[in-house]
Amino acid sequence: MIVDLPDTTTSAISKALVKIREEGGAVALGRVLTLVIATRSGAEEEAIEAANDASREHPMRVIVVSTTADAEDAGAPSRLDAEIRVGGDAGASEVIVLRACGAAAGDEESLVMGLLLPDAPVVTWWPGQAPDRPGESPLGRIAQRRITDASAQVDPQAALRVLAANYSPGDADFAWTRLTLWRAQLAAVLDQPPYESVTDVEVTGSIDSPSTTLLAAWLRMQLGAETQYRLTPVEEGSHGIRGVVLDRPSGAIELVRDLPGVATLRQPGQPTHDLALPRRNLRDCLADELRRLDPDELYGEVITVGLAELIGVESAPAPQEALR
């Protein structure tokens, strides 16, 4: 069910929610958190669909703050339009879409404060363009976790540096979340004999893949080995991470993704294996991040310490140089 509330107020939206629950039997009991999605007009549906799917694992209230590029124009009329979605249109959540312009869009924090679930954690997600300082932004200040996506920025590699410079506990980024399968596979391989130290690491991926850079930083931190990463133009192959080579005295371990969703594992003295290693979609990344509401300390160490160490020791051209 979808209820439209044109030219409305936060108070009127709250009353409409109560009325819907009383008349339609939709209840907020069991909601474990409030997810605030900050996005631009026209891009909200993909984010809402991902949130609806994730809500089946994490029942929640979803508040979407949708603005246009000129939403805060002083000359634009102040207006707030809202839409409430419950039932089949909202998965296991209840979705409130706020479309603000003019003065109404000037204070995003005030827009959502009256709609947050009481005594429930708040997570803010920017599926598109994100603020340089998520923790100090209006919607970031009210959240325990703040989720960004460096790959959705104009310059993904530069976005990582901005995230590192402005990191605060509770920040998270999908560039790190997309590494879960790669990290698990590499850890499983290294947990098998022979238990030798890795001497050199090489990571390759496309220039628009911040996950490639974070994977190289993580491997360098964990293995203490000389690490290089090579970022190539997108037109030379598929997006994302393309491969990892770990050199050991007994030979090299190669995990290479030549086909979308399929990687080939080669090890000395072992048969070659084809492994399912798909690029994680928004729903999977969001559900993964919502499983923990405490700061991800490993991500914080990688994005701040690990990234700085990687850039300082790399022998390949720096990502920013490669973009020119």
pLDDT at 24 over 70: no
Query: What pLDDT sits at residue 74?
Result: 54
Query: What pLDDT sits at residue 107?
Result: 87
Strand arrangement, sheet containing 251-259: 226-232, 200-206, 241-248, 251-259, 262-266, 273-276
Residue 246: closest CA among 299, 182, 302 = 182
Query: What pLDDT sits at residue 315?
Result: 33
Residue 152's SS3 state is helix
Range of lowest pLDDT (99-113, 241-255, 283-297): 99-113
pLDDT at 211 over 50: yes
Range of lowest pLDDT (166-180, 249-263, 309-323): 309-323
Query: What pLDDT sits at residue 311?
Result: 83
Q: Around Cβ 164, how many Cβ atoms within 10 Å? A: 18
**Torsion region of 4: left, alpha or beta (phi above 0 gives left; psi -120 to 50 gives alpha):** beta
Query: What pLDDT sits at residue 73?
Result: 55
- At a CB cut-off of 8 Å and minimum separation 6, what does 34 contact? 60, 61, 62, 63, 115, 116, 117, 120, 121, 122, 123
For the chain, percent of residues with pLDDT exceeding 90: 74
Residue 216: closest CA among 225, 208, 207 = 225
Give the distance from CA 217 to its chain's centroid: 18
Query: What pLDDT sits at residue 50?
Result: 95
Residue in this structure with the two tokens 């294996």, named with its chain if needed: 273
Query: What pLDDT sits at residue 312?
Result: 64
Query: What pLDDT sits at residue 166?
Result: 95
| pLDDT single digits (tens) 71-126 | 555 566 788 999 999 887 767 679 999 998 888 888 899 999 999 999 999 999 99
Query: What pLDDT sits at residue 91?
Result: 72
Look up the CATH architecture of domain 2-148. 3-Layer(aba) Sandwich (3.40)
Query: What pLDDT sits at residue 184?
Result: 96
The CA-atom distances, in angstroms, between 135 and each of 70, 123, 167, 266, 283 are 23, 11, 8, 42, 23
pLDDT band at 218 (very low <50, low <70, confident <90, very high): very high
Stretch 41-51: mean pLDDT, rounded?
93
How confident is the prediction for the chain on average, in pLDDT? 89
pLDDT band at 14 (very low <50, low <70, confident <90, very high): very high
Tell me the two tokens of residue 30: 């069991």
Query: What pLDDT sits at residue 1?
Result: 84
Give dist(CA 98, CA 299) in Å, integer: 31
Write the DSSP symbol of residue 279.
Answer: P
Positive or negative torsion for Cα 53, 55, 61, 62: negative
**Residue count (the chain):** 324
Range of lowest pLDDT (200-209, 227-236, 259-268): 227-236
pLDDT band at 213 (very low <50, low <70, confident <90, very high): very high
Query: What pLDDT sits at residue 319?
Result: 38
Residue 242's SS3 state is strand
pLDDT band at 304 (very low <50, low <70, confident <90, very high): very high
The CA-atom distances, in angstroms, between 132 and each of 172, 200, 293 are 13, 34, 21
Burial class (CB in 10 A: 0-12, 13-18, 19+), 140: buried
Q: Which runs of consecutive H residues, i.e. helices, occur in the chain?
A: 10-24, 44-55, 108-113, 156-165, 174-177, 180-190, 210-223, 282-290, 297-301, 307-313, 319-322
Residue 131: closest CA among 165, 81, 95 = 165
Give dist(CA 202, CA 228) in Å, integer: 5
Query: What pLDDT sits at residue 23?
Result: 78
Tell me the two tokens of residue 268: 């000395």
Stretch 10-20: mean pLDDT, rounded?
91
Stretch 120-136: mean pLDDT, rounded?
96
pLDDT at 238 over 90: no
